Amino acid sequence: MGMWSIGAGAIGAAAVALLLANTDVFLSKPQEAALEYLEDIDLKTLEKEPRTFKAKELWEKNGAVIMAVRRPGCFLCREEAADLSSLKPRLDELGVPLYAVVKEQVRTEVRDFQPYFKGEIFLDKQKKFYGPQRRKMMFMGFVRLGVWYNFFRAWSGGFSGNLEGEGFILGGVFVVGPGKQGILLEHREKEFGDKVNPDSVLEAARRIKPQTSASEKK
């Protein structure tokens, strides 16, 4: 009887742990980024002779849509990149550029990611776009039903990937207006494959008000 009680208790504890793992109780809460924080981030181009510049150059004149990629080789990230790239014709009509930042360069990972992403990609070596408070999802992600649903959705969509590079620091998507218009959309990935709604991105992009130079105002 004692062994049965111990076994039943263990099963009950496991069931409670599984249940809690599928709530947001143990998820770290994202800290919203201030515009000034994003503006001061150092980014680097991925050319043979890289150039370092402040991130505000990306959106200073026309605003921008920016994807902070969790891991270029991840098939979930490639799925989200393809979703955002499907918006590019409409973003081009609005005059809003599409960019991505990655936190590392591992072998050919960025180059292999480019077929899925139709915008320029830059290196955020200090991982600032993943802050101000970096959030990680470790192995708990693999017991979350939402993550398995996301796996199945991306796999069914024909996406594949690899295990190269760091993939626990969660990414996100930003829509930033020009000048001091501010952050119009900030989507923080809460679990693996928690991708942004493309309609929300487009809606935020339509609210962008391009900067008008002094000569144009005259």
* Catalytic status, residue 37: no
Query: Are residues 205 and 99 in contact, defined by beta-carbon separation less than 8 angstroms?
Result: no
Tokens coding 3: 């062994």
User: Catalytic residue among 33, 55, 58, 77, which?
Assistant: 77
* Catalytic status, residue 77: yes
User: Catalytic residue among 74, 91, 96, 154, which?
Assistant: 74
Give Cβ neighbours of residue 134 (< 8 Å, ≥ 6 apart): 127, 169
> Would you please indicate which residues are annotated as catalytic (active-site) residues?
74, 77
